[in-house]
Every structure is written in structure tokens, then in C-alpha cells.
Amino acid sequence: MIHTQNHRVVAELPTAAVGSTATATLTIDTIGYDYCSLAVLRASNSSTTFANVLKVEESDDNSSYGNVTALVAGGAGGFTVPAITAAGTNSVSVVKLDVDTKARKRYLKVSYTPGASATVAITGRLARAESSPSTASEANVLTWVRG
């Protein structure tokens, strides 16, 4: 098996402008996959605060969500997002979150409110599939080129 082919791409808000009081979200159905790697990206802006809110929640039925304690920025038992250096405000900032979906409920939801209005993106990659995707549609991409 070629492990790099054993994943599915999940993307939301490829480049959306989000205000400091608005929240960008990505909901992922993890059925059939044992691992999820998420990236939350913020385009350059003058704020040294990456997020007002950054968290992952889980649900059995895609309706009622609860926080995954270890994946809540600034929360008790969660993680800390360091301040962005002044020099770093001139480039894209990324926070990566890795989730063992075997230990989680079926649905994951990433919520992100930037520290200041910014262009943001949330992407994910589901991996360790029960059965490998064999078409572009199954891999959730426009086209799948192999060479």
C-alpha cells in the first residue's frame, strides 16, 4: 500500500475574509478514517494574536457538539497559541492540529475566529482509511493526477 494515496482531502473556506467577531468552521465526517490532520491558516495582517477562538468539537450525529478538551486554544487542559512576532505578521501563520479519530466521535468541527479581521482557510486531511479512495470523487478532489 502507498500510504500517501490512503487519504481524503477536506477543505473549507479556501480564502475567505473573516472578521474578528465572525467564526469560520469546517465540519468533517470521519467515518472510515482513523486519523485527521487539520491546518488553520491566517493571512498576514498587523495583529500578533492568531485567534480569539480556535477549537475542535465532536459529535455523534452532526447536531450537538462538545469540545475536545485537548484541542481548545486557551481552555483548561487545552493548548496555547503563541503570539505572532511583529516580523511574522507579514507572512501566513499556520496552526496544525492532529486528531486520532479512533478515540473521537464520528463528526469533528473546527471553529476559528481570528484575532483581527483576516483572510483565513481551514483544511484537513483524513488518513489511515479502511479502504483507499480510488477515484477523484472518493478522494474529494477536482482531479487526481498520478505519475
User: What are the distances in angstroms from CA 43 to CA 4, 28, 54, 88, 108?
Assistant: 27, 23, 16, 10, 24
Q: Higher pLDDT residue, 5 or 113?
A: 113
Given a cut of 90, whether residue 17 has pLDDT beyond it is: no
pLDDT band at 146 (very low <50, low <70, confident <90, very high): confident
Report the 3 state secondary structure along 69-123. Answer: EEEEECCCCCECCCCCCCHHHHCCEEEEEEEEHHHCCCEEEEEEEECCCEEEEEE
| pLDDT (tens digit per residue) in 66-100 | 999 999 998 788 999 888 887 767 788 899 999 99
- CATH number attached to the domain at 3-132: 2.60.120.380
Task: Write down the pTM of the prediction.
Answer: 0.84
User: Per-residue pLDDT averaged across 31-58, rounded?
Assistant: 90
